[in-house]
Chain A
Amino acid sequence: MVKKKIKLRDVILSILAAGVFCALLAYYQYDTGTSHSYAISILERSAIYAVVAVSMNLLNGFTGLFSLGQAGFMAIGAYTTGILTIPVNMRQSVYYMNGIAPWLENLHLPMIPALLLGGLFAAAAAALVGIPVLRLKSDYLAIATLGFAEIIRALLAAPMMNTITNGSFGLNNIPGFQNIFQPMAIAAVCIVLMILLINSSYGRAFKAIREDDIAAEAMGINLFRHKELAFVISSFFTGVGGGMLAIFMRSIDTKTFQVTLTYNILLIVVLGGIGSVTGSIIGSLLINGSQEWLRFLDEPTTVPVLSSLFKPGFRMVIYSILLMVVVLFWRRGIMGTNEFTWDGLFGLFRRKKKTKKAGGEA
């Protein structure tokens, strides 16, 4: 688009909103009177899922490549981060069943380098998988990446990996975030980087491929190179998101990275709007928020008819239905391919007022 002048009002409003949000975070963090762990955990989880959802959107929404390997790339990032950040003096107790590989025993990294390395490993895996798979048609990509994610899970749990991944025992004692600002800041940096990429000439090339690959190629865009690039970058941030999840959960095992995880991310992307970054962020907040509110669905109840329905997993059924409804009747999701703007928000209020007035007069 032709560059538009940035409005002073929007700048002020954005700074204000960011300020209010930071103040809220600070309140949750420093108000010790009441426990805010519940709200904090929803916000942190939302931020982490938002990173992964935006990176999935980069691929599915902006480049038009339908990949379902998110859980696999998250697992790579999570295990890398987890293994490297567990304090050295805790390692014997974490790996007490299988023992730890000698070369790994004293290998320790601080959080940020560990996250970066997790992202890089995920990106490297994507580069390898992408070479054969991205030459195929898009439908095969979904199947191949889904399979890839399961292979990663199997590899992580494989007995010969026991001294590295601790096999089926998983990892624990991963140091958590020190405060709520850490995950928020990391998520913000990741998302801003992806937005910058999307708005660069590479991002435009990705969109061109999504719109019409034959025309994109006729404009001199090397399809394979750009698809591979989008896939690798998306997987990098997915890996970082996985690493963040490991830090957030503090203990992980391969069950954490089942297909349902990918499914959750997909739901966020579809609900928020395929091709909208802000949509993915809003979607992440909604899904993670409601996940807590809807937790009662998974708990046994004594209400006669419902008791046969409410059992662990029922929440997933509700989500599946929601996904189907969105896909069938509301394909654009909340944001469609639009991004949040202050103009858009005020427009929404104005429209509401108008309809109210019209209703009043009638």
Chain B
Amino acid sequence: MIYLDHAATSWPKPPAVLRAIEQYLNDYGGNPGRSGHRISIEAGRVVYEAREALAQLFNVPDPLRIVFTANATEALNLALYGLLKPGDRVVTSGIEHNAMMRPLRDLARRGVELQIVPCNAEGLLDLAALAEALRVKTRLVALNHASNVVGTISPIAQAAKLAHQAGAPLLLDTAQSAGCLPIDMPALGVDLLAFTGHKALCGPPGTGGLVLGTSFDAQELEPIMRGGTGSRSEYEEQPEMLPDKYESGTVNGMGIAGLGAAVRWLLEQGIDNVRAHEVRLTREMLGGLAQIPRLHVYGPRDAEKQTATISVSIQGLYVSDIGFQLDADYAILCRVGLHCAPAAHRTIGTFPEGTVRLALGWSNTLEQVHLVVDALQRISSI
């Protein structure tokens, strides 16, 4: 079996992740941060250490600025609904996932002004158009770091500079980049960062978070949920301190234990090494795919300019049929269709048919890449 769906979720998970989850449930699964007894403290410590690992990964000095959520979707909702008020203006791009686009469309219905800056057919953000859009007073620039459809890496450092010149903070969706691209928040100029634990970060599903960069004042962001935090229990108002302000209710302790182990594992491997491995696989795959006559590759077609996610179609075949054949005849598992990103598919010109997405990840090998290219070669020549 060849797993080519890392952009949906990474599989398998590093063994350390499974061990950490098992250990959490077996050995110290008290309620983290609620009680003062030893297994509650131990659970709290595991959660705190996961914050530390993520703070190191994103280069933020204070682990308390990592706010855990269930996934990137919840983190984006927190950032968008917590920040934007009717009358505010928000600028986003044409390569967004619905996790960004649906909250924005809803906010637009509630009186937030939404502007979508176009990307070219390879999914690359038009920086001149962004600069133009930022001539009007803007509350937030919200961008996807890497496309979940074609892997295109957005020019974030430049976009952040433009946003800051216009006085707007930058919110970055790193669902497709955290864990497989180096991300230095202060160096890139990212003020708010949404991540999901279960993709390239190699953690379990049900984990994610919003990182408040040192550059961002938490006074500006309202919580979207309120409730018990284990702190200031005598007050009936939500505490202002981080991360409690945004973390009401018991966190996903076992998931976060797994995520912490995953991030430490990644830091040991070195994100640069993970990236180098994926660039090698992507280059090999792109080279092989280019030889197949009726097959079209979307996106940058340059391993350095994209993640290990590649979208293709074959002339005369439905993407659903290609996906089915890959699974049934070759045990190659990928995702076909629109990938929750109609805006991105419109941008690359594949709406509503969609594409076959070949999403490589840490666990794939060059040998697998060759088998996939052979399979597509055969499917396209029938």
Q: Report whether chain A binds chain B.
A: no
